[in-house]
Chains A and B, each alone.
Chain A
Amino acid sequence: MITRLVASFYKELLLVVRDYAGLAMLFIMPLFLIVVMAVIMDAPFRDYQEAGIEIVLLNEDNDTIGNIIEQGLIDSEIFSVVNKVGPDNLDRSSIEQLVKNGRFILGVVIPQGATKFVNRKVDAMISSTLSQFGMPVKPSVIVKQIDAPKIQIYLDPAVKKSFANSVTSSIKSFTTQVENQMIIQGFYAQMTEGESGEKEMKGGLIGFEEIYPSGEMSKNEHLFTNSVQHNVPAWTVFAMFLIVVPLASNMIKEREGGSMLRLIIAPGSHMTLLVGKLLFYVAICLIQFSLMMLLGIHLMPYLGLPALHLGGSIAAVFVVALMLSFAATSLGVLIGTIFSSYQQASIFGTVIDVIMAAVGGIMVPLFAMPEPIKFIGRLTPLNWGMESFNDLFLRGYGIIEVLPEVMKLGIFSIIILLLAWKANKNNVIAQ
């Protein structure tokens, strides 16, 4: 049995090694793709338009400050503001969760009593200012030092740093505006003369806190996405799925060329031979993956780009790569089984890979896409792979957090193989 398995593995090796076009497609093309994409997308990645990005907002304040920030975000047209997700009301932990699991890249919590706090601070300031001019002070406005409520901004570490900065500063500017207005109004209220008390607030009254809900690594080191961090894993996933083309072509040639007949006529389980074939293509995918990662780590710096960062858990990265290879190989087997001409299979295999790459967040990150596309994109194995690599590389997660994606890849592969097996029954043995 082992003889047969190894023979099948070795036979596929010979077929692939002799197929120069296939080799170029699997190794040379992705190499260029990655380098070119990483270089040309470097600039756009630094300042691309985050148009129409969804932001999840919890306005606990429900008073002047909260409402002005909310309106400001809505009016900005950069964001579309979401106040409700699912049946339950939002709270801090659900917002944290929504950002953590990548559903939103941005969450903002305006704490309860923010307006009241600022009001009291303003009153106190005005009173102390007025008292310096010898004016009477209402005792009620003298406030004790209390902790300032903080506006919390939850950010997905997969967004780039400049974007995070611009979001935080625009929210800050809304609040500063409100605070200034409140101060002016306060002066008007206390001083009938209407003497100008416009006095820029230094630093503002209300505090801010940026929170990156994520795993271990990000606590001390936030790694923001950049051209390398996106393009290297993205096009590697794409390239791994290109395995369907040589795999399906070889299966079809084997069937059409009659060699398949000998495989069926030989005694013993055909499954052994299929396993040998699968193992070989999974191995090819893993080699492809390793080469592309090495390229990201060692070649990118020579091109003036940052080196690829693999995150904390190499074991988890390997598991994801393995499951992706399995998924890609299974898909190749299915395509090789249902198509009868290898030209058709090649075209279909390439096109389906490109389509899945387009909707699955390979070409453009998923969060920048419209909702219906996002929904379809999340159903593609390429997206599961990409999401896993984002989790591992950028968010600093480990195997536990990528387990759902890994399981999806596994279940996908098994379903696809079962379909291939079903189709094969109607195919190999003439009825």
Chain B
Amino acid sequence: MEPIIEITGLVKRYNQAELNAVDGITVEVRKGEIFGLLGPNGAGKTTLISILCGIVKPSEGQVRINGIELQSGLQDIKKIIGVVPQEIALYPSLTVKENLTFFGKLYDLKGLELQESIDIWLNKFGLIDKMNHRIETFSGGMKRRVNLIAGLLHKPQILFLDEPTVGIDVHSRAVITEHLKEINQNQGVTIIYTSHHMDEAEYLCTNISIIDSGIVIAGGSPKNLLKQNKDCNRLADIFLKLTGKSLRD
């Protein structure tokens, strides 16, 4: 498989920060992968994703997405990527449908095409009955699902998900992971995904990078990682072994 994201020597130091949030990361994501970015709090996962979708300017290093240089080709890249932010990024006083219609229109989607796309996703995520309810009346799990749909409407080729399953119950999580797998297999969407749920990552990801303090400390397929660490039964054990047990900021 050809690489779709090529990251070389990427560094990010925020203004007034003492340490680099991303400290020289070199990673390749191949087309059609579900790529897991795992790491403790403050490891630099959100920063890395933010650089990849053009919200944060890198301090050093190169990024190419779909063969296009990130800095110069950002507008073209934006059209093919979808982003699901870590925080719920919706208007609380607007209904599900109003939110999704607005975000769809940001991508110049309109009319029937947009409405159909919204209906399909709402159906899949069990929200079709709630489409005229305001976001502020929703539970955390329902908000997460809408947050996810808002990143999918324009049929992106690459999907960045920053902790899409944080703070939700087992049912919602199962629905989300199932649909992510389906999008990946049926539509060939490359998924880059961060999580603290190791079992979820183990089940979902074809490839992972464990990062800590802005650097990659391990990488490969879950299977290979388990092979390399014979003393560990699960990905979670490897994670703890590699990142230590001290608390993070």
Chain B proximity mask over A266-295: 1 for CB below 8 Å, otherwise 0? 111000010000000000000000000000
Distance in angstroms from B148 CB to nearest chain A CB is: 12
Q: Is the CB of A259 within 8 A of B105?
A: no
Interfacial residues, chain A to chain B (CB-CB below 8 A) = 3-4, 6-7, 10-11, 14-15, 18-19, 254, 257-268, 273, 429-431
Task: Assess the B78–A267 pair: CB atoms within 8 A.
Answer: yes
Q: Once the chains bind, are A258 and B107 in contact (CB under 8 Å)?
A: no
User: Do A257 and B102 form a contact, CB below 8 Å, given A11-B94, A14-B94, A265-B54?
Assistant: no
Interface segment, B1-9, B23-31, B82-90? B82-90
Q: Indicate whether A262 sits within 8 Å of B106 (C-beta atoms), given known contacts A430-B50, A430-B55.
A: yes
Contact of B91 among A4, A7, A15, A430 (CB under 8 A): A15
Query: B125 an interface residue at 8 Å Cβ cutoff?
Result: no
Nearest chain A residue, comparing its CB with the CB of B98: A14
Could you list 8 A-B pairs, sorted by A, with CB under 8 Å? Answer: A11-B94, A14-B93, A257-B89, A262-B89, A265-B78, A266-B103, A267-B78, A430-B14
The yes or no answer to B72 lying at the interface (CB within 8 A) is no
CA distance A262 to B105 in the complex (A): 12
Asked if B75 lies at the interface with its beta carbon under 8 angstroms from chain A, I say yes
B240 contacts partner chain A, Cβ-Cβ < 8 Å: no
Q: Are B106 and A4 in contact (CB under 8 A)?
A: yes
Bound complex: CA A257 to CA B91 (Å): 7
**B-side interface size class:** 20 to 34
A254 closest partner in B (C-beta)? B91
The answer to whether A267 touches B107 (Cβ under 8 A) is yes
Cβ-neighbour of B89 out of A19, A261, A429, A430 (below 8 A): A261
Report the minimal beta-carbon distance from A272 to chain B, rounded to whole angstroms: 10
Contacts of A257 in B (CB 8 A): 87-92
The chain B residues found within 8 Å of chain A, CB to CB, are 14-15, 50, 53-57, 75-76, 78-79, 81, 83, 85, 87-94, 98, 101-103, 105-108, 110, 134, 150
CB distance from A26 to the nearest CB of B (A): 16
Whether A262 and B14, one on each chain, are in contact in the complex, defined by CB atoms closer than 8 angstroms, is: no
What separation, in Å, do the CA atoms of A261 and B86 have in the docked complex?
Answer: 11
**Quick check: B98 and A266 within 8 Å, CB to CB?**
no
Whether A265 contacts B91 by the Cβ 8 Å rule is no
Which B residues lie within 8 Å of A6 (CB)?
A: 105
Q: Is the CB of A3 within 8 A of B78?
A: no
A262 touches B92 (CB 8 A): no
- Contact indicator A18/B94 (Cβ below 8 Å): yes
The answer, among A7, A14, A15, A265, for a CB contact under 8 Å with B53, is A265
From DSSP, what is the main secondary structure of chain A's interface residues? helix
Minimum distance in angstroms from B75 CB to a CB of chain A: 6
Contact B78 A430 (CB under 8 A): no
Minimum CB distance partner of B110 in chain A: A3
Contact A266-B78, Cβ < 8 Å, known A3-B105, A431-B57: yes
Partner of A18, one of B15, B93, B107: B93
Contact A15:B94 (CB < 8 A) given known A261-B85, A429-B57: yes
Complex alpha-carbon distance, A262 and B82, angstroms? 10
Pair A258/B106 contact, Cβ less than 8 Å: no
* CB–CB B91/A11 < 8 A: yes
Considering the chains assembled together, what is the distance between the CA atoms of A268 and B78 in angstroms?
9
A266 touches B107 (CB 8 A): yes
Which residues of chain B have C-beta atoms less than 8 A from A430's C-beta? 14, 50, 55-57
Asked if A431 and B55 sit within 8 Å, CB to CB, the answer is no
C-alpha spacing A263/B101, complex, angstroms: 13
Given contacts A15-B94, A259-B89, A431-B57, contact A267 B15 (CB under 8 A): no
> Which residue of chain A lies nearest to B50 when distances are taken between CB atoms in the complex?
A430
Q: How far is the CA of A390 from the CA of B101 in the complex (A)?
A: 45
Q: Which partner residue on chain A sits nearest B109 by CB separation?
A: A3
A33 to B55 Cα, complex, angstroms: 44
> When the two chains form their complex, are residues A19 and B93 in contact, meaning their CB atoms are under 8 A apart?
yes
* A261 CB contacts on chain B under 8 angstroms: 55, 83, 85, 87, 89
User: In the complex, which residues of chain A have a beta carbon less than 8 angstroms from the beta carbon of B108?
Assistant: 3-4, 268
Pair A7/B106 contact, Cβ less than 8 Å: yes
**Are B55 and A259 in contact, with the CB atoms below 8 A?**
no
Q: In the assembly, what is the distance between CA of A271 and CA of B47, in Å?
A: 25
Contact (Cβ within 8 A) A431 B14: yes
Picked from B57, B83, B85, B102, the residue with its CB within 8 Å of the CB of A11 is B102
- Give the distance in Å from the alpha carbon of A113 to the alpha carbon of B147 in the complex: 87
Q: Which residues of A contact B88 (CB under 8 A)?
A: 257-258
Q: Roughly how many angstroms separate A265 CA and B156 CA in the complex, as a whole number?
A: 12
What is the CA–CA distance of A429 and B75 in the complex, to the nearest angstrom? 15
* B14, B93, B106: the one within 8 Å of A263 (CB): B106
Tell me which residues across on chain B come within 8 A of A263, comparing CB atoms: 106
Task: Find out whether the CB atom of B94 lies under 8 angstroms from the CB atom of A258.
Answer: no
Contacts of B81 in A (CB 8 A): 265
8 pairs of A and B residues whose beta carbons are closest in the complex:
A258-B89, A7-B105, A267-B78, A266-B106, A18-B93, A258-B87, A431-B15, A267-B79
